[in-house]
Chains A and B, each alone.
Chain A
Amino acid sequence: MSIAAATALASALGFYLLLGVVFALYFIVFGVGRLVPAAKGSGIGFRLTIFWGAIILWPVLLFRLLKGPAELVPPRTWRRAHARIWMVLIPLVALGVMAALMLRPAAPLNDALPAGIMLEEASS
């Protein structure tokens, strides 16, 4: 990734989290009980626990606040979904592991120098 692309990615990530902090501050005061009435009147400790989640999951929460609470669906087990995930995960990981072993260098790579220093050395 070029430095410009990496900078754009890091900025986008920072912007997402900044919006998340602003939203989370609103959410832990006003939104918590709007989505789940049982959480109305809950204490500061609980609201601080929710704060971090609201920073990361703010788009889903905003959607829920605008569209209303999630529909109540009967709970179900997820056995079939688990089985499907493993059916995909096992061959994918097996392929990746085999490739990593087959193309592994005979001599160890040098990791003594921090990569940042190597980057600067390479570019100078």
Chain B
Amino acid sequence: MSHQFTPVQWNGFKWRYDAIVLFGTILFVAVFVGLTMASRQPGESLAPVQILIRAFGAAAFLLLNIILSIGPLARISARFKPLLYNRRHMGVWCFSLALTHAGLTLMWYQGFSALNPVVALFASNVQYTSIAGFPFESLGVAALILLAMLAVSSHDYWQAALGASVWKRIHMGVYVAYGLLVMHVMLGIVQEEKAEFYPASVIGLFCIVAGLHIFSAFTGRVTDRRVKASLDGWINIGPPDKIAENRAKIVRTESDARIAVFRYDGKISAVSNVCAHQNGPLGEGRIVDGCITCPWHGWQYRPEDGRSPAPFEEKISTYRVQIDGGMVYVHPDPLPPGTPTKPAVIDEAANV
């Protein structure tokens, strides 16, 4: 959390995570190069650097597909949540691979020109009205600029410096970059190569990623209907024993806010479901050492006042709760972030 900024807050999990991503990339590039060389027909020429350009491009594209799949997968099944934890390192790595691909491309295809390589890149092909000869490099450049903006602003500091809303909008650019890259491949290598492997894998990956996003949005909606408050304004969320110990039930209010109602130590407290770090779903986390612990990167908040334990200073909204007639009620109006609220005591209620 943010009491002291460091370049990376390393821990064992992050080291293992990054090592797997690095090893996976090396393996992928090696297999790609090996298979490309083995499948060359006699007479077909492809310089080693061209094979490397394709290998790094393919690795970056595949990694971007994996990155974009993690969010919906984690919403569909909790087993994928650990992958969310260090996704931003994967994003920076994806950008590095794309940059290597771009650097090699510029050197190989434009480095021999008398012109500045960047000028040569933009001036060498102007067939913007052709599909087969489209200057697909321009799409790659646009995507690379977007990925660069995401990579350089991935540190927590940027969220605080730019404001959560601007930061999130910049990071939504990943979808634009993805669309540009799909077309970069479809108008680039797919037009150059007869092998059906290229279009088949791009279309297959896009269908998987888009399908996962649609599926998770759809299933999320089914389990996440808005709950109406009763006449006196409180929302009935059922008996306390319907909430597992140290876990939460998430309710969505009519004004579209999500509230996480936690049960712990014979008490009930309610806070906003949205983590102050990167909007992670707090209600899908659990109570660890007396604190609500976000499932994404482990930020913690006390259930009674929505404040992070010292020395941290983050705050989230809290909600009033009560137990009446064996039912838990939460009031849908949020209290200012960090406002202490009295937890509802389960045993007391049972004696009513």
Q: Using CB atoms and an 8 Å cutoff, list the residues of chain A in contact with chain B.
A: 1-3, 5-7, 9-10, 13, 32, 35-36, 38-39, 42-43, 45-46, 48-50, 52-53, 55-57, 60-61, 64, 69-71, 73-79, 81-83, 85-86, 89-90, 92-93, 96-97, 99-101, 103-105, 107-109, 111-112, 114-120
Contact = CB atoms under 8 A, between A and B. Distances in A.
Given A74-B272, A79-B217, A105-B132, A119 B120 contact: yes
Contact of A112 (B45, B112, B178): B45
Given A38-B160, A78-B279, A93 B206 contact: yes
B17 to A, nearest CB: 18
Contact of B161 (A7, A13, A64): A64
Contact of A115 (B50, B110, B192): B110
B30 interface: no
Nearest to A10: B118
Interface residues on B, range: 35 or more
A61 B161 contact: yes
A111 B187 CA distance: 14
B191 interface: yes
B162 A70 contact: yes
B203 A77 contact: no
A77 B274 contact: yes
Interface centre among B5, B110, B116 (most CB of A within 10 A): B5
B128 to A, nearest CB: 9
A13 B279 CA distance: 34
B125 interface: yes
A114 B116 contact: no
Given A3-B115, A86-B213, A100 B334 contact: no
Given A74-B272, A82-B213, A116-B109, A109 B155 contact: no
Given A107-B194, A108-B193, A53 B183 contact: no
B110 A116 contact: yes
Contacts of A61: 161-162
B86 to A, nearest CB: 16
Contact of B166 (A36, A39, A70): A70
Contacts of B201: none
B16 interface: no
CB-based closest 10 A-B pairs: A70-B163, A116-B113, A6-B122, A53-B152, A103-B131, A100-B186, A6-B123, A10-B118, A49-B7, A75-B274
Given A61-B161, A77-B279, 5 more contacts: A32-B157, A49-B7, A70-B165, A101-B190, A109-B191
A5 B186 CA distance: 26
Nearest to B185: A100
B226 interface: no
B316 A103 contact: no
Q: Which residue, of B116, B157, B191, B214, has the highest number of chain A Cβ atoms within 10 A?
A: B157
B131 A100 contact: yes
A60 B162 CA distance: 7
Contacts of A75: 164, 272, 274-276, 279, 316
B191 A104 contact: yes
B7 A45 contact: yes
Interface centre among B7, B46, B272 (most CB of A within 10 A): B7
Contacts of B7: 45-46, 48-49
B2 interface: yes
Contacts of A49: 7-8, 155
Nearest to B217: A83
Contact of A78 (B8, B46, B111, B168): B168
B112 A111 contact: no
A112 B164 CA distance: 47
Contacts of A114: 108-113
B179 interface: yes
B244 interface: no
A103 B190 CA distance: 11
Nearest to A48: B7
Contact of A93 (B109, B157, B179): B179
Interface string B35-63: 00000000001100010000000000000
